[in-house]
Amino acid sequence: MKLAIVVGHNAHAQGAVRQDTGETEFSWNSRLADIIKERAARFPSIEVRVFFREYMGSTTREVRDVYRQTDLWGADATCEHHFNSHSTTSATGTETLTSGTKSSVHFAEAVQEEMLSALGLRDRGEKYVSREGRGGKSLHFGRAPAILVEPFFGSSPKGLAATDEHHEMVRLADAILLGAQAAFE
Ligand SMILES: [Zn+2]
């Protein structure tokens, strides 16, 4: 299967910031995407390509453009990477957003389960998001079953502790690949 990894946000507007290192969503998830690409060598049934959103001054155009590229590549599934943030440090946990189609829900459930065992954070579940909702464009613009992952809160000491070591990023990368394998094999 062809799995498109989409790095959330863009180089110009990089999203939320980790409270421990100051690293942005765009930067951290770009590094995670590299690890997913490396680890994909262990998953012969999965071909991974990483896609970046380009700043265009309009989120709609930016998101439409990147999912046009995943469609052109012939992605069988897309997974867009973010992390959460909240004004209170007590907000914590892992969640996966789904477009609500049968295969997106199936993919979201598989990846959510793997991320929970990889990170050991609270289960915030899978959340259906409409085209108009937060992250909805990323879930609905492409043809392939789409999910958007928020593995942790960059504002939570627990979320930060679970994701600040290289081996923890490797476990998270494997969780995405294991979830894709489980959902699409
Ligand atoms: Zn984000």
* d(CA 27, ligand 1 centre) in Å: 11
Fold annotation for 2-184 = Aminopeptidase (3.40.630)
State the pLDDT at residue 185.
85
* d(CA 134, ligand 1 centre) in Å: 10
* d(CA 39, ligand 1 centre) in Å: 23
Nearest-angstrom CA–CA distance, 13 and 48 = 25
Nearest-angstrom CA–CA distance, 33 and 51 = 9
Nearest-angstrom CA–CA distance, 63 and 115 = 25
* d(CA 182, ligand 1 centre) in Å: 25
* d(CA 150, ligand 1 centre) in Å: 8
pTM for the model stands at 0.98
Mean pLDDT of all residues belonging to the chain? 98
* d(CA 167, ligand 1 centre) in Å: 22
Average the pLDDT over 88-105 and give the result: 98
* d(CA 25, ligand 1 centre) in Å: 6
How many percent of the chain have pLDDT more than 90?
99
Strand partners, 98: 128, 147
State the pLDDT at residue 176.
98
State the pLDDT at residue 79.
99
Digit-coded pLDDT (tens) for 127-148: 999 999 999 999 999 999 999 9
Average the pLDDT over 37-47 and give the result: 98
* d(CA 80, ligand 1 centre) in Å: 9
Digit-coded pLDDT (tens) for 56-78: 999 999 999 999 999 999 999 99
Rama region for 74: left / alpha / beta (φ>0; ψ in -120 to 50; rest): left
Domain definitions of the chain by residue range: 2-184
* d(CA 84, ligand 1 centre) in Å: 7
